[in-house]
Amino acid sequence: MARRDFDPESVKPDGRTPAKGVLFDAGSAGPWRGSLAGEAIGGQLTILAYGNDTPGEGPRLHVHPYDETFVVITGRARFFVGDAVIEASAGEAVLGPAGLPHRFENLGPGRLQTIDIHHSPCWIQTNLD
């Protein structure tokens, strides 16, 4: 299916050059494998890599002043976003809207690996527990 959602002539480059940054060291251990601030590469999103092998474990309850999108790469997770409880598996994504406290945990069995996309050029967070 061919797509033509906009006229390419209507968007002009803004002068930024392509950039690359390191999100994580593939050999690193621990659940927080790394983060890449959008501002480091001239982008509008900050990306985090998170993973753990222990069911029931996950990041603590926290909140951001911007949206966060979670992409489950491997495993299964239970997300607590405001009053909602959402289960997601590999290949699924969950939205945490700005201002809603959230956390998630590994449902097991095995490894949970997520890519967490912060809709901000820098990581801003307040822990609530």
Q: In angstroms, rounded to a whole number, what is the distance separating the alpha carbons of residues 93 and 73?
A: 9
- Any domain includes 106: yes
**CATH at 85:** 2.60.120.10
Number of domains within the chain: 1
CB contact burial 19-28 (16+ within 10 A = b; e otherwise): eeeeebeeee
- Any domain includes 104: yes
Which of the 8 DSSP states describes residue 39? H
- Any domain includes 57: yes
Q: What is the pLDDT of residues 2-34, one digit of tens each?
A: 888 888 889 888 888 888 888 887 777 778 778
Q: What is the pLDDT of residues 41-84, one digit of tens each?
A: 999 999 999 999 999 999 999 999 999 999 999 999 999 999 99
Which of the 8 DSSP states describes residue 27? T
- Any domain includes 88: yes
DSSP-based three-state secondary structure for 58: coil
Asked if residue 117 has pLDDT above 80, the reply is yes
Query: What range does the domain containing 95 cover?
Result: 46-129
pTM of the model: 0.88
